A and B are shown apart, each in its own frame.
Chain A
Amino acid sequence: MRNLTVSRAAAYAAAFSTIAFAPFSARAQTTDAPPEDVAALRAQIAALDQKLRVLERNLEIKDDTAAAAAKTAPVITAGAGGFSLTSADKKFSLRIRGNIQADGRYYLEEKSDASDTPDAFVLRRIRPSFEGTVGEKFGFRIMPDFANNQLQLLDAYATYKQSDEFSLLFGKAKSPFDLERLVSQTNLLFIERSYPTLLGPNRDTGVQASGDLFAGRFSYQAAYLDGASDGGSVETDTNDGKDAVLRLFTHPFKNNEDSFFKGLGFGVAYSAGTREVGSGAIRSYTTNALVPFFQYNGNVRPDGDHTRLSPQIYFYKGPFGLLASYTETDQELINTTTVTPASVRGDFANRAWAVTANYVLTGEDTGYNTSPKPRQDFNLSAGTWGAWEVAARVSAIDVDEGAFAGAGTGIFANRNTQAAGVDSLSLGLNWYLNRNVKASLNFEHSSFDEAAGRSASLEDFEDENAVLTRVQLSF
């Protein structure tokens, strides 16, 4: 383009000077020139004029050709949001994104027995993701995870978007249930999600429909899925039972720019399904510092109905955010090896809640499933420090007391070794060096509830205090 511009300018200059000066030089030499000479000069000027016009037109055609070629050339972009390749008509695209989370976990109480959790550096997540569009309405996403030297396929789905009001998703993705689960792992306020996510489904396979109605003020998600255990994902479905999930959410003031409650959203999620006895073990519950505190007995399996309910709400205003949710899971379980029929089956309701508040000290806006975008990136030599955020969370989980009932130390869970609940306080500090790099420091305090009937000779469960750190790179 630069060469073209330069050559065009040179051509114009040459042609202009030729045309401009030719008449004067001719006049100077041919004041008394015969008419045929004047006619010849006029013809010469006309010829030069044509040459100039031809030159100009050819350059115009070259420009048009280049512009047309640009219209059909794919667009390659690289930036803070990842790397992408998009067809000229924007119907086909591939976006490569990824994130690496390197964590440190430090447990402040040292235990002398096997229950001690070692301090450790861990690679919590290593997730490249490939997402894009195929044609005008179809899309896809594939996201594996390489953390802990294991390969897991987390997301693998195809989407069809008919309109903002109606989209379909086929494959494996997050179940549309838990408010905090639906926050991307790169936008989490705390290093680990809290207790309501332990009771909701994680990733599940099936079909989901979703859409935004009333100019985005109301959204719905409905899914028919294999059926994941509480806090778990489905890798291979081993039973005919399926889950139906419905989540309704509203942002009533979303489009009212002046409203104080513009950033308010609330809704409810509900899931209902059945499990057959062969559908696998139930996941253990862990504290916010990832230390297990409750596990059903090894021979306990889901068998029967499983419902969940989760009211949820958030509010964001400038640098301030508040997010809260409550989840109750109600599940029929069976102890497959107990001998007393009356004790073999039980229906247990476990409950969890969390309230999280955050404030961006440097003034950037916060929001649901977004991270503050630093006004100034961290640059030591320039004296700029990125964005800083503080967060606090109170959360709790309670296991149904019925789980500890029965003969021995309990039919479904051991009341002597397993805690019946946890109350936790979390404090967090997040440093956003730029849009791609984040460092987090969390302090987690948890105190444990004992089950009724726990042996009095046992020592109380010791409070847990832990410091978690994370360096995250995402693009």
Chain B
Amino acid sequence: MKLPLFTAFAAFLAFAGAAFAQKPVELLNVSYDPTRELYVEYNAAFARHWKAKTGQDVVIRQSHGGAGKQARSVIDGLQADVVTLALSYDIDEISAKAKLFPADWQKRLPYNSAPYTSTIVFVVRKGNPKGIKDWGDIVKPGVSIITPNPKTSGGARWNYLAAWAYALEKNGGSQEAARQFVADLYKNVPVLDSGARGSTTTFVQRGIGDVFLSWENEAFLALKEFGTDKFEIVVPSLSILAEPPVTLVDRVAKRKGTTEVARGYLEYLYSPEGQEIAGRHFYRPNVPEAKAKFASQFVDVKLVTIDEVFGGWQKAQKEHFSDGGTFDQIYLKK
């Protein structure tokens, strides 16, 4: 019996198609550690927006962890539709090693694909018992510093580089002095968590350390959640402009058929509502209108950039955080 193959194939496709139809589209956002609360609210807002715009239901799943670890997971096959990580180097690594999206990904969205920025501040215990006012105070003997591991955490790398930048400025650009300064800093670090949220736990909940080098948004969150009667924020004289970028993971989204909704998800971060949510969660919005609205929420601090002090992330990563780099040298000596 010769069954018409085309008919059989068409019937199969119809059957399979029916099985796929009418399911809500699902996105996976692989993000860094402290963005949990931000994306809980943002995801709900975007789902409402997308439903109203297209009639399509969208469910967004989140994955959080140290930015370096998260990038490694995506390289190893975690099926992220979008990544929203702590720094561009980790996203560059995904592009370079897994070829999931083009190398010039950062040009695809405004502001170098960073819808919001942040910086590094100090959180100290109420009354600031160690009298910490600036970077110079935290490297003194007897001061216990909480910061995560720069090998796995994006926030920790920003901490490290901010300290290095401060030391450079204080010492007339001497790299050797900066290196010694950062080495002294890590002598005072008793615990290395893998991510920023772990360090928050160490400092806030476990009661360890005198000063916590923290993302600005994480610092505000700690005060909001655990009380201003327990902690204070100290803004150093100099810090670093942290630009956590976002991008579409083209090949995964194409394979899953989620390109349009994933792109919409990232673009909505720049919308008034997206920027408002970022501001409410103590990220510094990048779109001028929202930036102006939330300006009073953040202290005015001198911010250096990774490009002007370190020549960009690729160079900084290679010199400081690659295996055998400066961090390994100073931390292993500890």
* Chain B residues with a Cβ under 8 A of chain A: 1-3, 8, 12, 15-16, 19-20, 144, 190-194, 198, 202, 206-208
Contact = CB atoms under 8 A, between A and B. Distances in A.
Nearest to A272: B1
Given A58-B191, A162-B16, A165-B19, A241 B1 contact: yes
Nearest to B20: A162
17 contacts: A54-B191, A57-B206, A57-B208, A58-B191, A65-B194, A162-B16, A162-B19, A162-B20, A166-B19, A209-B15, A224-B3, A241-B1, A242-B3, A244-B1, A272-B1, A274-B1, A305-B1
A240 interface: yes
A18 interface: no
A44 interface: no
Nearest to B76: A72
Contact of B191 (A61, A166, A224): A61
A273 B1 CA distance: 4
Interface centre among B1, B3, B16 (most CB of A within 10 A): B1
Closest 3 CB pairs of A and B: A54-B190, A53-B208, A274-B1
Nearest to A275: B1
A427 B166 CA distance: 91
Contacts of A241: 1-2
A209 B19 contact: no
A54 B193 CA distance: 11
A245 to B, nearest CB: 11
Given A54-B208, A273-B1, 7 more contacts: A50-B144, A57-B191, A61-B193, A166-B16, A241-B1, A242-B2, A272-B1
Given A57-B191, A166-B16, A224-B8, A244 B3 contact: yes
A163 interface: yes
Nearest to A274: B1
A230 to B, nearest CB: 16
Given A166-B16, A241-B1, A57 B202 contact: yes
A243 interface: yes
A56 B208 CA distance: 10
B12 A209 contact: yes
Contacts of A165: 19
A65 B191 CA distance: 13
Contacts of A224: 3, 8
Contacts of B193: 61
Interface residues of A, number: 24
A166 B14 CA distance: 13
Nearest to A65: B194
Nearest to B65: A68
Contacts of A242: 1-3
Interface of A: 50, 53-54, 56-58, 61, 64-65, 162-163, 165-166, 209, 224, 240-244, 272-274, 305
A242 B3 CA distance: 8
B58 to A, nearest CB: 20
Contacts of B198: 61, 64
A165 B16 CA distance: 11
Contacts of B207: 53
A440 B193 CA distance: 61
Given A50-B208, A54-B208, A61 B1 contact: no
A240 B4 CA distance: 12
Contact of B2 (A58, A65, A274): A274
Contacts of A243: 1
Nearest to B191: A57
A307 to B, nearest CB: 9
A151 to B, nearest CB: 32
A50 B144 CA distance: 9
A162 B20 CA distance: 9
B263 to A, nearest CB: 25
A242 B15 CA distance: 22
Nearest to A165: B19
Contacts of A58: 190-191
Contacts of A272: 1
Contacts of A54: 190-191, 208
A8 B19 CA distance: 53
Contacts of B191: 54, 57-58, 61
Nearest to B202: A57
Nearest to A163: B19
A56 B194 CA distance: 16
Contacts of B3: 224, 242, 244
Contact of B194 (A61, A244, A305): A61
A53 B201 CA distance: 12
Contacts of A53: 206-208
A224 B15 CA distance: 16
A240 B3 CA distance: 11
A220 B60 CA distance: 35
Contacts of B208: 50, 53-54, 57
Nearest to B144: A50
Nearest to B210: A50
Nearest to B78: A89
A274 B2 CA distance: 7
Contacts of A240: 2
Contacts of A209: 12, 15
A243 B3 CA distance: 9
B78 to A, nearest CB: 9
A240 B191 CA distance: 72
Contacts of B2: 240-242, 274
Contacts of B144: 50
Contacts of A64: 194, 198
A45 B192 CA distance: 23
